[in-house]
C-alpha cells in the first residue's frame, strides 16, 4: 500500500469546490479579485497563490487525508451548494479535517444575489436543514441555514454568478 506525503505547499490557501463544472469554470478565470480575501488571484494557473481541489461531492477519505496533510496555518475554504448537501459537506470536513474550514460563497448575500436561479426547498430539504441546526460545528452558519428555511429556497453552485 502506498501512502501520500505532502512535501511542500506553495499556496496561501486551499479552496475545495464540490462540483466539477463549477471547478472548471473557476480555474478558467484569471485576474479575479477574491471576494473574501480582497487579493488578486490567478485561479488555477501557474502563478496562483491558492490551491484549488475538486471534491466531486462529499470528499472521499483520500481527499480528506490530503487536506489533513496541509500545514495547520493554511486556510481551507469550501465552496458548495447552498442546501442541505453543501452544509453537510462543510460539517463533515470540519469534523474529519479541521474545525477551521470556512465556507466560501455560502452566505445570505450569495443566495439573495442569485434568487432567479434558486429552487424551492422540498419537505425533505426542510427536515434535513433543520437537523443541521443541531450540529455544533455549524453554529457559525446557523443564520444562513435559517435564512434558507425562511425563504424556502436552495441554490446550486452552478446558479451562482461570480464570473
The per-residue pLDDT for 85 is 97
Cα distance between residue 39 and residue 68, in whole Å: 25
Strand partners, 14: 51, 76
The per-residue pLDDT for 14 is 93
Tens place of pLDDT for every residue, the chain, 163 residues?
556 565 566 778 999 999 998 888 887 774 455 555 555 555 444 445 778 999 999 999 999 999 999 988 999 999 999 999 999 999 999 999 999 999 999 999 999 999 999 999 999 999 999 999 999 999 999 999 999 999 999 999 888 876 5
Q: Where are the domains of the chain?
A: 13-158
SS3 8: coil
Class of 13-158 in CATH: alpha beta
Beta strands in 3-161 (DSSP E): 13-17, 32-33, 40-41, 50-54, 76-79, 102-103, 119-120, 153-154
What pTM did the predictor assign?
A: 0.83
The per-residue pLDDT for 30 is 45
Amino acid at each position: 500500500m502506498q501512502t501520500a506525503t505532502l512535501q511542500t505547499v506553495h499556496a496561501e490557501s486551499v479552496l475545495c469546490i464540490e462540483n466539477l463544472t463549477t471547478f472548471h469554470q473557476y480555474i478558467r478565470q484569471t485576474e479575479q479579485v477574491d471576494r473574501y480575501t480582497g487579493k488578486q488571484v490567478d485561479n488555477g494557473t501557474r502563478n496562483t497563490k491558492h490551491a484549488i481541489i475538486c471534491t466531486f461531492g462529499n470528499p472521499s477519505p483520500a481527499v480528506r487525508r490530503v487536506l489533513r496533510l496541509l500545514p495547520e496555518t493554511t486556510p481551507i475554504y469550501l465552496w458548495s451548494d447552498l442546501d442541505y448537501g453543501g452544509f453537510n459537506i462543510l460539517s463533515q470536513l470540519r469534523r474529519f479535517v479541521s474545525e477551521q474550514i470556512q465556507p466560501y460563497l455560502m452566505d445570505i448575500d450569495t443566495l439573495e444575489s442569485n434568487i432567479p436561479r434558486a429552487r424551492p426547498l422540498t419537505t425533505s430539504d426542510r427536515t434535513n436543514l433543520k437537523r443541521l441546526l443541531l450540529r455544533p460545528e455549524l453554529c457559525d452558519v446557523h443564520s444562513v441555514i435559517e435564512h434558507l428555511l425562511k425563504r424556502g429556497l436552495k441554490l446550486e453552485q452552478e446558479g451562482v454568478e461570480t464570473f
